[in-house]
Amino acid sequence: MSEVKIFSGGNSQLLAEKIAKNYGKKLGELTMSKFSDGEMSPSFDESIRGCTVFLIQSTNPPSDNILELCLMIDAAKRASAYKVCAVIPYFGYARQDRKDRPRVSIAAKAIANMITSAGADRIMTCDLHAGQIQGFFDLPLDHLNGSAIFVPYLSGLNLDNMIFAAPDVGGVARARAYAKHFEVEMVVCDKHRKRANEIASMQVIGEVEGKDVILIDDLVDTAGTLCKAAQIIMEKGAKSVRAVVTHGVLSGKAYENIEGSVLQELVITDTIPLKQKSSKIKVLTVADLFAKAIHAVTGHTSISSLFI
């Protein structure tokens, strides 16, 4: 078996250190030099010839994060790495996975092409915005599920009247999976948007009175949808509302919206570094989940045990 080495891009340094520690390895040495104009130049500070290399980098904006990952992949291939696996805890641009109106880009496919063309042999990621994005890659892709992190946490809350809610119609399948596991009911928040990040109207389909409601989603950006859904759910007589979301993008007025909302707490993971602390935001780590997945890949064993 080839030696395993783990490296990190600048955007996921803290998470990569945790993953490497949980795997039982020290994070590899890599230097990302920059020219005066910002042009990046990655360099591995140790031999990776014949090694299976895992490069950890979330590709949330700015676009430098994606370019940095592609350059690291290219550098690893040119340094004669045996295999290069791009570990992308959060796959950015995944919301643009189809042509929902004329003359627009399918950005998720374009990014998949970039990473593939750079020379990646394998992709590992968590909770894609749309599962069908896996089909955009013509190479092995390990799609991990955040439920492995959230289910134990939710079980520990010991809520008697728990019910799950999808903040929009697109998240029904995700919420239903949780509801099925806990053997409880679910509701749906049907929303209509004027434009991106701006909600025109929303209504709750289902009964929430006297319930402890758990909103389930894959990412939270400005938190407008979550906060609006939480407000309407509480107006319908819910006992409490929490949100469980894998990727905390948290841009614009997200922190302000969350602090001023009726949400009891927002539970996210560390796939994206938290920009600032908030009394209502709790962060759970995905480090052990990814470390176990890397063990499974390098040991040629099944990763199905990681799924709930």
d(CA 127, CA 143): 7
Catalytic entry in 83, 191, 211, 228: 191
CA distances from 15 to 88, 171, 212, 273, 282 (A): 11, 26, 31, 8, 16
Tokens linked to 142? 């390990």
**CB 98, CB 42: distance < 8 Å:** no
Could you give the angle at the alpha carbon of 85 between the alpha carbons of 173 and 7, nearest 5°? 115
d(CA 137, CA 24): 29
Tokens linked to 8? 């990190």
Q: Is 64 exposed, middle or buried (0-12, 13-18, 19+ CB in 10 A)?
A: middle
Helix axes 172-182, 147-157, angle to 10 degrees: 50
191 is catalytic: yes
**CB 269, CB 292: distance < 8 Å:** no
Tokens linked to 3? 């030696």
**CB 257, CB 210: distance < 8 Å:** no
Is the link from the previous residue into 62 a cis peptide, with omega within 30 of 0? yes
Q: What's the 3-state SS for 241-272?
A: EEEEEEEECCCCCHHHHHHCCCCCEEEEECCC
d(CA 258, CA 249): 13
d(CA 273, CA 95): 19
What amino acid positions are annotated as catalytic residues?
191
